[in-house]
């Protein structure tokens, strides 16, 4: 059982995915607070060295490290839809906590609830089920993930459960205003510049149902935007009345092509990206192409999306 594994461990590594978002890091931070109650060593690990500074309001943000400890004997991963997302390869017992439909249960123990709107919801349910007391820091961390993955309580997946969890977390000390400020109001100049540039070059296909964006490396350099800031533009495109799916291709600074697909839910983004080595959710999914004929691969993705409209 996951709790037995945690109890017997001496040094637990909490793993957030590459380029972490508020859901992954918020889940790990809540767990960090919980584990502090035991006399164990804890490491908050992320393979990426360039962490989105808009997450700096989360407790334990300054504890993040990209050095995997030698003496670790247990790992817990948060919001990682596949083993590849951990960015490391270690043969240690692993608890996989997640909500992606594409999750293939890669852990020793898997706490995966695909009906949850965020991984922080899965963590919250785990705390409640095990009568683990949620303090203010934990509530804030869980709330941040809930707000981010529900697109500030606007995603179609929002349910009575989402709002009742929000209610409970605010009562437990989560600061709504702080989360809104850091996750939604603090936009960088670069993110606005990339938005302008991309909206101008957006291609509309299939009677305006499909929006396509291309980000060459030169545009990233010109605007100073990062990959996460580019992806926000895809969300904006989905707000156009005729658009049912929006896809962005980003030339990755470290090589390869990153693709991110958002849909209105009538087309399964996770299924399409699954054909190309990726995964995610019905409404949003992505993949990273390392090699191959990128033009041809993107062309066949586009065909698949168009087929979904029929």
Stretch that binds Mn ion, among 20-28, 52-60, 107-115, 174-182 (CB under 5 A): 20-28
Nearest by Cα to 60 from 99, 19, 14, 97: 14
Q: Are 9 and 48 in contact (CB under 8 A)?
A: no
Going by their DSSP bridges, the two strands 279-280 and 74-78 should be labelled as unpaired
Stretch that binds Mn ion, among 78-86, 198-206, 266-274, 290-298 (CB under 5 A): 78-86
Stretch that binds Mn ion, among 22-30, 35-43, 80-88, 193-201 (CB under 5 A): 22-30
Does 229 engage in binding with Mn ion (CB under 5 A)? no
Does 23 engage in binding with Mn ion (CB under 5 A)? yes
84 DSSP 8-state letter: G
Q: Closer to Mn ion by CB, 9 or 182: give it.
A: 182
- Minimum CB distance to Mn ion, residue 86 (Å): 15
What CA–CA distance (Å, rounded) separates 142 from 122? 10
Radius of gyration of the chain (CA): 19
Does 79 engage in binding with Mn ion (CB under 5 A)? yes
- Position of minimal CB gap to Mn ion: 23
Does 148 engage in binding with Mn ion (CB under 5 A)? no
Q: For tokens 């948060």, what's the residue?
A: 78
What CA–CA distance (Å, rounded) separates 186 from 165? 25
Site string for Mn ion, 165-204 (x = CB under 5 A): ----------------------------------------
Stretch that binds Mn ion, among 66-74, 118-126, 227-235, 295-303 (CB under 5 A): 118-126
- Minimum CB distance to Mn ion, residue 192 (Å): 25
- Minimum CB distance to Mn ion, residue 197 (Å): 28
Does 149 engage in binding with Mn ion (CB under 5 A)? yes
Strands (E), 82-147: 94-98, 109-112
Nearest by Cα to 100 from 87, 77, 116, 88: 116
Residue 185 CB: number of other CB atoms within 10 A?
9
- Minimum CB distance to Mn ion, residue 272 (Å): 19
Nearest by Cα to 60 from 40, 42, 81, 39: 42
Structure tokens at 151: 């697109």
- Minimum CB distance to Mn ion, residue 85 (Å): 11
Q: Closer to Mn ion by CB, 21 or 268: give it.
A: 21
List of residues contacting Mn ion (CB under 5 A): 23, 79, 119, 149
């Amino acid at each position: 059982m996951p709790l037995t594994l945690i109890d017997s461990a001496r040094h637990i590594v909490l793993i957030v995915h590459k380029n972490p978002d508020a859901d992954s890091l918020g889940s790990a931070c809540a767990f960090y607070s919980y584990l502090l109650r035991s006399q164990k060593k804890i490491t908050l690990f992320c393979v990426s060295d360039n962490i989105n500074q808009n997450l700096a309001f989360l407790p334990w943000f300054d504890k993040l490290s990209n050095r995997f400890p030698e003496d670790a004997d247990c790992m817990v991963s948060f919001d990682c839809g596949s083993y590849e997302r951990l960015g490391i390869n270690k043969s240690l017992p692993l608890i996989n906590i997640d909500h992606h439909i594409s999750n293939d249960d890669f852990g020793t123990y898997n706490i995966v609830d695909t009906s949850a709107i965020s991984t922080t919801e899965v963590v919250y349910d785990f705390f409640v089920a095990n009568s683990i007391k949620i303090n203010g820091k934990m509530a804030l961390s869980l709330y941040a993930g809930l707000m981010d993955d529900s697109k500030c309580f606007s995603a179609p997946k929002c349910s009575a459960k989402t709002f009742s969890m929000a209610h409970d977390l605010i009562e437990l000390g989560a600061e709504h205003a702080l989360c809104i400020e850091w996750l939604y109001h603090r936009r960088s100049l670069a993110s606005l510049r990339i938005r302008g540039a991309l909206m101008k070059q957006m291609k509309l296909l299939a009677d305006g149902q499909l929006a396509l964006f291309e980000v060459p490396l030169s545009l990233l350099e010109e605007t100073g935007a990062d990959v996460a800031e580019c992806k926000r533009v895809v969300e904006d495109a989905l707000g156009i009345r005729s658009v049912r799916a929006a896809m962005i291709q980003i030339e990755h600074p470290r090589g390869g092509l990153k693709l991110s697909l958002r849909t209105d839910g009538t087309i399964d983004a996770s299924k399409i990206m699954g054909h190309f080595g990726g995964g995610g959710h019905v409404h949003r999914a992505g993949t990273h192409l390392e090699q191959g004929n990128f033009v041809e691969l993107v062309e066949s993705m586009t065909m698949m999306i168009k087929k979904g409209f029929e």
